[in-house]
Amino acid sequence: MPKKSPKKPVRKSKFSATTADKHDLYQRSVQDPETEVFFINRFFRRLRKRAPLSLREDFCGTALLCSHWVKSLKGRSALGIDIDPKVLAWGVKHNIDALGADAARVKLLQQDVRAASPGKHDVVCAFNFSYWIFKTRPAMVAYFKTVKKGLGKEGAFMLDAYGGWESHEPMLEPRAIKGGFTYVWDQDKFNPITHEIMNYIHFEFTDGTKLEKAFTYDWRYWSIPELTELLTEAGYADVRVYWDSSTDDDVDDYKPTTRAQNQPGWLAYIVAVP
């Protein structure tokens, strides 16, 4: 996934394609749950002047964010939804069981995010662009409507999106990861007519081994105006785009705005309220 701040390569490593666990590599390379909890909290407080308590994480994968969410405040609960039973089982073993008593505040559901789910939540989030699996406007609107039904009266739906002219280029973007392996974001194909994209994540190791196509992303590229229009069409009363206004590459400072300077690569958040 597009990320900023590349880190310096590390030479010796315990990681190898022969022993590596792709979910562990993914979490180390792509996920930053502390920052996500910080943003969710900040965006929600700005809207509702209180701390969000209940989170539904769509496309939760290993439920790493759910685990950090319940740890972040007593009284917080999380519902993680993912269609893949294997990734959920990995998450229970590696992220949820480790919570001890706090694990009781996490529920995981194996189902399609478009199916009805229990409860109303302060926040529903779909991060790391997973919702781009929906390739048509009716499919995306149907998903957004399902999410709306899962939001409380004071709820907010939070999404991320990436773009910039480099996001349409075929490219390999390697990034050295702490611990000693290389994560490679592969923007393989972009169809300018349908905006269908095919991206992969590969991992490379210091012993010369590789895990190619560890993850495949067969998505449609969605622009911010398309997404904000579809959220409005799905019935959201207010849709705001949060853009990184920081001039320091090492610091993120997302603020709601309607104007931004064009950039080769950017990552933004969208917050929609019912």
**Which stretches of the chain bind ligand SAM, using CB under 6 A?**
30-31, 59-61, 81-84, 87, 112-113, 127-128, 130, 133
| 129 versus 205: smaller Cβ distance to ligand SAM | 129
Best CA proximity match to 46, nearest among 124, 185, 156: 156
* Coil vs helix vs strand at 181: strand
Nearest of 209, 177, 202, 203 to residue 188 by alpha carbon: 202
Q: Which residue is nearest to ligand SAM (CB)?
A: 61
Half-sphere exposure of residue 231: CA atoms within 13 angstroms, side-chain side: 24
Of 5 and 262, nearer to ligand SAM (C-beta) is: 5
Task: State in angstroms the smallest separation of the CB of 185 from ligand SAM.
Answer: 12
Q: Rounded CA gap, 59 and 88, in Å?
A: 10
> Which token pair is 182?
């290389």
Least gap, CB of 28 to ligand SAM (angstroms): 12
Rounded (10°) CA dihedral 78, 79, 81, 85: 90
Q: Which is nearer to ligand SAM, 16 or 109 (CB)?
A: 109
Of 99 and 133, CB closest to ligand SAM: 133
Q: Shortest gap between Cβ of 56 and ligand SAM (angstroms)?
A: 12
The distance of closest approach from Cβ of residue 90 to ligand SAM in the complex, given in angstroms and rounded to an integer, is 10
CB of 40 to ligand SAM, least distance (A): 12
Strand order in the sheet with 210-220: 171-177, 181-190, 196-205, 210-220
- Tell me how far, at minimum, the Cβ of 182 lies from ligand SAM, in Å: 18
Residues for the chain: how many in total? 274
| DSSP per position, 11-66 | S--S--TTT--HHHHHHHHH--HHHHHHHHHHHHHHHHSS---EEEEET-TTTHHH
Nearer to ligand SAM, 50 or 189 (CB): 189
Decide whether 53 or 87 has the Cβ nearer to ligand SAM.
87
